[in-house]
């Protein structure tokens, strides 16, 4: 089952309403926001980090970047780095590289969400392809994923 179908099934099983969107092929969350005419604050991107050699999902708004110093402080370790594509490609076998949804729980990976994204009423995120996204209420996402909410991101562009 591909990621998009897995997400549809999971959301239906949990009675979560969602909207599906399709956009031209793109490789960045900011471009997704632009092409779908939605705020970059509501467009979630998933950054995979290795923390003490354990893979973790860090979910933040499209126009933000992960502050590694903050992640180190939150996690209580200096052993934090971006995961290499070949590492997370194996963890998300049903997704095109870099298009994983913020549902690390479906892949056995802990999820951290930046508090700026947690403040939004809804979020939009990729679902395994460079052309498809879904939108759901943030409260539904939090109920299903049970992420740790923390402040670990900074805005990188004006929006």
What CATH code is assigned to 3-155? 3.90.960.10
In tens, the pLDDT along 1-23 reads 799 999 999 999 999 999 999 87
3-state secondary structure of 59: strand
pLDDT for res 158 = 52
Give the strand pairing for 44-51 and 80-82: antiparallel
Measured CA to CA, the distance from residue 121 to residue 139 in angstroms comes to 7
By mean pLDDT, which of 34-38, 69-73, 101-105, 119-123 is the weakest? 34-38
For residue 9, the surrounding DSSP H or E stretch is helix 3-13
Measured CA to CA, the distance from residue 97 to residue 88 in angstroms comes to 8
Residue, of 30 and 135, whose pLDDT is higher: 135
How confident is the model over 56-61, as a mean pLDDT?
A: 97
For residue 13, the cross-strand partners are none
pLDDT for res 157 = 55
Q: Which residue ranges make up each domain of the chain?
A: 3-155
pLDDT for res 37 = 81
Please spell the DSSP secondary structure of 117-133, one letter per residue: HHTSSEEEEE-SSSSEE
Q: What percent of the chain has pLDDT over 90?
A: 77
Measured CA to CA, the distance from residue 23 to residue 16 in angstroms comes to 22
pLDDT for res 156 = 78
């Amino acid at each position: 089952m591909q990621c998009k179908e897995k997400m549809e099934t999971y959301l239906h099983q949990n009675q979560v309403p969602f909207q599906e969107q399709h956009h031209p092929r793109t490789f960045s969350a900011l471009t997704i926001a632009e092409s779908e005419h939605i705020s970059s604050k509501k467009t979630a991107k998933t950054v995979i980090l290795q923390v003490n050699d354990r893979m973790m999902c860090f979910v933040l708004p499209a126009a933000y970047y992960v502050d590694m110093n903050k992640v180190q402080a939150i996690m209580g370790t200096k052993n934090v780095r971006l995961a290499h594509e070949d590492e997370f490609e194996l963890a998300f076998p049903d997704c095109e590289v870099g298009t994983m949804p913020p549902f690390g729980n479906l892949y056995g990976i802990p999820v951290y969400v930046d508090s700026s994204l947690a403040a939004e009423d809804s979020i939009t995120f990729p679902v395994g392809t460079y052309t498809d996204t879904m939108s759901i209420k943030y409260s539904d996402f939090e109920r299903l994923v049970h992420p740790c909410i923390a402040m670990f991101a900074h805005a990188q562009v004006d929006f």
